[in-house]
Amino acid sequence: MKLSLRWYGPDDPVPLQYIHQIPGVTGVVSSLHDMTPDAAWPRESIERMVDQIAHHGLELAAVESLPVHEDIKLGRTSRDRHIDNYLTSLENLAAFGVTTVCYNFMPVFDWTRTDLAYPLADGSTCLRYDHHDLSRIDLSRGTRDLPGWSAAFSGKALESLRQAYAGIDEETLWDHLSYFLSRVIPEAERLGLRLGIHPDDPPWSIFGLPRIMVDGDAMRRLIRIVDSPSNGISLCTGSLGAKLGNDLPALVDELAELDRIVFMHVRNIHFEGDRSFHETAHPTVCGDLDILAILKSLHKNGFRGPLRPDHGRMIWGETGKPGYGLFDRALGAAYLHGIWEALG
Ligand SMILES: [Mn+2]
């Protein structure tokens, strides 16, 4: 596997130099964060990002994410134009040696939490989700009360999006995903790119919006839509693991054996109750997911793709982007590197 860390570009408080100092880390995962989903990614911007990363002795191990325009998820007539842009972006990424691209198909919101600095007993803070707390958030004034999304949507913009999704059930969303994949995957295969869908986080419907990438059955259905090594999964343990009944070591074993895991996010969580959890440090002993067993499943099947520690806690007084501080993710990276080394 290629151990990497997410890097949010030049504005990230964690510089590339610090990431390069973490033992075993050879790459970063990044995106063009100033692009809007309305346009294809220009070659000059991609080249600048790749050069900057290479200048610090690292490689761009995966692009996370290349966002899918909302009109594609909604199945609007304009989707073909947005898919054309997507194809241009893929072609431009491939021209600079990118091999792995992460995306998601979550309506309106991607990862969602109800607390970005939940205090743990040891004085660290972490991200937390509680469905009851979420259901009490009033979206009529937009996303101002939704942690991490404060300025994203006005009440009016959000209401029109929610109305657009009112007629879209889960099967319709699957249809729109199939349409997207049937156009994008053959082109990705031709370009030598592997696309990996990120599971929905959390893996259930929020705010009445449909969510479909929630469990093993969804992953199995996804890879059958277009049977290609380019049609894969960015398997996120913390996202899928939040749904009780998702047996991650078994699922990782099954999908890695089929060589459909193109990218791994490794994170541990602690279950608090029904649709309620908080994130923990990465080691198995710190949470409810068996991280060691998950890595054993990957190793057994010869996983060679990028793997990154996902969200970390805030520890040692660090401040910064919730979930994406340096210290706890570096501890996570060292832990994951150690397991991999021991597996031989
Ligand atoms: Mn993830």
Listing DSSP states for 106-140 in one string gives: -SS--S--SEEEEEPTTS-EEEEEEHHHHHT--GG
Ligand 1 centroid – CA 213 distance (Å): 13
d(CA 210, CA 171): 9
Please list the helix, strand and coil fractions of the chain in percent, rounded to the nearest 5, in that order: 40, 20, 40
User: By the 8 A CB rule, do 64 and 98 touch?
Assistant: no
Report the alpha-carbon distance of residue 66 to residue 85 in Å, rounded.
11
| Alpha-carbon separation of residue 112 from 151, 213, 232, 235, 296 (angstroms) | 14, 15, 23, 17, 29
Report the pLDDT value the prediction gives residue 245, as an integer from 0 to 100.
87
The confidence score (pLDDT) of residue 140 equals 86
Sign of CA dihedral 228, 234, 240, 245: positive
| Alpha carbon distance 213, 169 (integer Å) | 13
Residues with a known catalytic role = 198, 236, 265, 310-311, 324
Ligand 1 centroid to 17 CA: how many Å?
A: 23
Listed residue (142, 46, 128) closest to 93, CA to CA: 46
Distance CA 281, CA 92 (A): 37
Give 198 Cα–ligand 1 centroid separation in angstroms. Answer: 7
pLDDT of residue 141: 85
Segments making up each domain of the chain, as ranges: 2-343
DSSP secondary structure letters along 139-163:
GGG-STTSTT-TTT--HHHHHHHHH
- Distance, in Å, from the CA atom of 122 to the CA atom of 289, rounded to the nearest integer, reads 20
**Cα atoms in the Cβ-side hemisphere of radius 13 Å centred on 195:** 31
Cα 239 to ligand 1 centroid, rounded to whole Å: 6
Ligand 1 centroid to residue 247 C-alpha, Å: 17
What is the pLDDT tens value at each position of the chain, 344 positions in all? Answer: 999 999 999 999 999 999 999 999 999 999 999 998 889 999 999 999 999 999 999 999 999 999 999 999 999 999 999 999 999 999 999 999 999 999 999 999 988 999 999 999 999 999 999 999 999 988 888 898 899 887 788 888 889 989 999 989 999 999 999 999 999 999 999 999 999 999 999 999 999 899 999 999 999 999 999 999 999 999 999 999 999 889 999 999 999 999 999 999 999 999 999 899 999 999 999 999 999 999 999 999 999 999 999 999 999 999 999 999 999 999 999 999 999 999 99
In three-state secondary structure terms, 268 is strand
CA–CA gap between residue 62 and residue 263 (Å, rounded) = 8
CA of 280 to the centre of ligand 1 (A): 14
Mention every residue, 6+ apart, whose C-beta is less than 8 A from residue 282: 266, 267, 268, 291, 309, 312, 328, 331, 332, 335, 336
Instruction: Report the alpha-carbon distance of residue 280 to residue 130 in Å, rounded.
Output: 15
| Separation of CA 109 and ligand 1 centre (Å) | 14
Domain 2-343 annotated CATH 3.20.20.150: yes
Nearest to 287 by CA among 306, 265, 266: 266
Q: Please name the amino acid found at residue 310.
A: D
